[in-house]
Amino acid sequence: MLRAFLRTAAARARARSTRPDQDDDVLLDAPDDRLAPALLAAARGEHTPAAGLLTGTRQRAEWEHRDRYTTRLAAFSRSRSEWLDAWRITDPQDPDALLVAARLAVTRHWDSPDRALLLRQIVPAVTAAAEAAGPDPVPWRTALDAARGAGAGHAEFERLWGQAVRRSPHHYGCHVAALEYLAAASPGAHRECLDFAETAAQDAPEDALVRALPLRAAFTCLRAADAGSATGAPPRDLRVRLDAAADRAVALSAAHPTADPWAAELRNLLAYVLVRLDRLADAAEQLRLTGPYVTSFPWDRETDDPLGRFLQVRADVRAGVAAAPPRTGSGHPRSGRGGRVGRDDH
């Protein structure tokens, strides 16, 4: 654990002092400077730094950071829960401890063959905790995920969704949960998913993370096509919307510094979608911008070795760009792509 964090710090120093494309020393799911001390302390069984981190995000209404940190702390607790157990014994009603515990419960039950049954049993408690959390939308993201996994009907899910957006109309995590519910309820509803995502992005402030929701919808559409064994290119009108979602995310990526751990998930997801759209030059640029920071999502949706998958795709993209013929004005007007990675390689 300590070695991983030290490597993270060293990689950040190199990212500041070297060219952005010198990113061979990649790091998987590296924490940012605020989360790293909390995880280090949790590894020692101490909960105070995590408590302080989450309290600060709640008091400052940093909902996107709060959501991401909660998810990471819950993931850590799957194998090392002593610090969380001690926290809950010390203060059983602490809203931040309850939030992490709820997220952990949903995460643990999600992989069970009895997922729906197990999640139905905890939905009332998760929802009650969310109702007691005041203006915080993050517990509602957990409640929405639990309801989706439990197979909740449309009326119940819409009730939870209404509570979430009443607290924060542009919270990215809640919108992702709703998008995934829509996709699961109607597997062929590609256009409906894009409609939902585009509307949310259009109505959001310029700096809101939810403006990346169309990219997430594009990813959902591409994955659904895989599950349905679809072949060939998507219909032209759908392809135009997938490209538009990627273009919007390219603009969002440009607003962040190179080798920024906060933007890493956006850039990893964007690279994945761009490769699937055969926009290799654009994908290569996002892979350069992400620097050493690899995120498990989206690569873990295809393999149990997300880091290995990322490295394979990166190598394929670089080879495809290098082998591409000179641009002649044809191809995608925004990417100038010339290479192609086969379906089995992305």
Which pLDDT tens digit goes with each residue over 150-209?
999 999 999 999 999 999 999 999 999 999 999 999 888 899 999 999 999 999 999 899
SS3 assignment, position 294: strand
The pLDDT, as a whole number, for residue 340 is 39
Q: What is the pLDDT of residue 148?
A: 97
Q: Is the pLDDT of residue 3 over 50?
A: no
Residue 58 CA, chain-centre distance (Å), reads: 20
Residue pLDDT, tens place only, 252-289: 999 999 999 999 999 999 999 999 999 999 999 999 99
Amino acid at residue number 150: A
Going from the C-alpha of 262 to that of each of 34, 188, 267, the distances in angstroms are 11, 32, 10
CA distance 101 to 89: 12
128 token code pair? 């009650």
What is the residue-averaged pLDDT of the chain? 89
Residue 16's CB is within 10 A of a number of other CB atoms, namely: 10
Is the overall model pTM greater than 0.85, yes or no? yes
Three-point CA angle 165, 167, 170, nearest 5°? 50
Look at residues 345, 346, 337 and name the one whose alpha carbon lies nearest to residue 281: 337
27's enclosing H/E stretch is strand 27-28
Q: Taking residues 5-17, what's their average pLDDT?
A: 49
* SS3 call for 28: strand
Which one, of 183, 184, 177, 191, lies nearest residue 151 by Cα?
A: 184
Q: Kindly tell me if the per-residue pLDDT of 46 is higher than 90.
A: yes
How far, in Å, CA of 164 to CA of 144, rounded? 9
* CA dist., res. 212 & res. 220, Å (int): 13
288 and 20 Cβ atoms separated by less than 8 Å: yes
